[in-house]
Structure 1
Amino acid sequence: MTDFDPFSDVLDGPMYVVTATSGGERAGCLVGFASQCSIDPPRFIVWLSVANHTYRVAREAAYLTVHLLPKDDRALADHFGTETGDRVDKFATVGWRPGEAGSPVLEEVSSWFTGRIEGRIEGGDHVGFLLAPVAVCPPIEGPLPPLLQYRELRDLDPGHPA
């Protein structure tokens, strides 16, 4: 097996909180593996760990909501990245509203979209959810805020192993 670390260690992408609902259950987690993957039609893929509670809810969901975290929102990243929905209701202490098909939209995050799940791709310990945008946040006025990056969260103790 080839050591992939020399390449992957230099990656420093934005961090997201992904939320889902299915069967009357809400879930959300911190995600570092996600990207736009098509321009026309617009598509985005988000990768969820199969060990994660959010994955188990998402595999039965019709929609996911993807929230892009600004640099100053470390507390929200900690909340969704260090707790597990297997033990706590992550939505009990954060403001949210139901979006498309009930998919939770976090009130304190200004950059988000909800996507219909178009397909799933097995990827080892993560599954990719291919999303077609159906609802998008309003445009941001003024300069765009800097984004919370992966390197700034390397010290988090995750609620589940990858």
Structure 2
Amino acid sequence: MNDIPDIDGGTFRRVLGHYPTGVCVVTAAGEDGMPVGMVVGSFTSVSLDPPLVAFFPAKSSGSWPRIAQVGKFCVNVLASDQQPLCRQLAAPGPDKFAGVSHRVSDNGSPILDDVVAWIDCTLHAVHEAGDHYIVLGRVVALEVERPDRPLLFFQGSYGEFSLLQ
């Protein structure tokens, strides 16, 4: 007997959409050496000792398997003025990185230009969680590039953070 009620997907998205999330791009150099990336709104710190972070790619993602194959990635925290970059990298297709300025980290992953911060990781663990994965990354390097407002996603739209006066 299952006492857990079915939750409608639309209701789930609507209610949880009232909680803002930061917008990041997880990048890696694919096995062919070409950059691969995916936009995520589900990124969090997990542990200080050891330093771990997590994100949650959909099992249906076309980019995640390419990132998982190389076993290392960089999380790029987008700034509030990087919505066009976010849209470009979120679109499906092989030319996501056309015209996207970046450099390569010591770990071999793309660091996007002008991001708020970046967190370079090795793949620590992957766990199944419904229609997503829980990906844990072991942080090997990180830095604030531009101490600016992050890009946020809230109630189905992009926005930015503003401090209370």
TM-score w.r.t. length of structure 1 = 0.80
Structure 2: tracts of 5 or more residues without a match: 1-5, 159-165
Q: Which residue matches 2:152? A: 149
Q: Which residue matches 2:38? A: 29
User: Distance between the aligned counterparts of 1:72 and 1:80, measured in 2?
Assistant: 15
Maintained 8 Å contact 1:66/1:112: yes
Matches within 5 A, 1:1-162: 1-3=6-8, 5=12, 7-24=15-32, 25-81=34-90, 83-84=91-92, 87-138=93-144, 144-151=147-154, 154=157
Amino acid corresponding to residue 23 of structure 2 in structure 1: M
Greater strand percent: which structure? 2
Larger Rg: 2
The DSSP-based 3-state class of the residue aligned with 1:20 is strand
Maintained 8 Å contact 2:52/2:138: yes
TM-score w.r.t. length of structure 2 = 0.79
Q: Percent identity?
A: 24
Query: When the two structures are aligned, how many residues end up with a matched partner?
Result: 149
Shift of residue 43 of structure 1?
Answer: 0.8
CA spacing shift, 1:152–1:27, aligned 2, 3 Å: farther
RMSD over equivalenced CA pairs, Å: 2.2
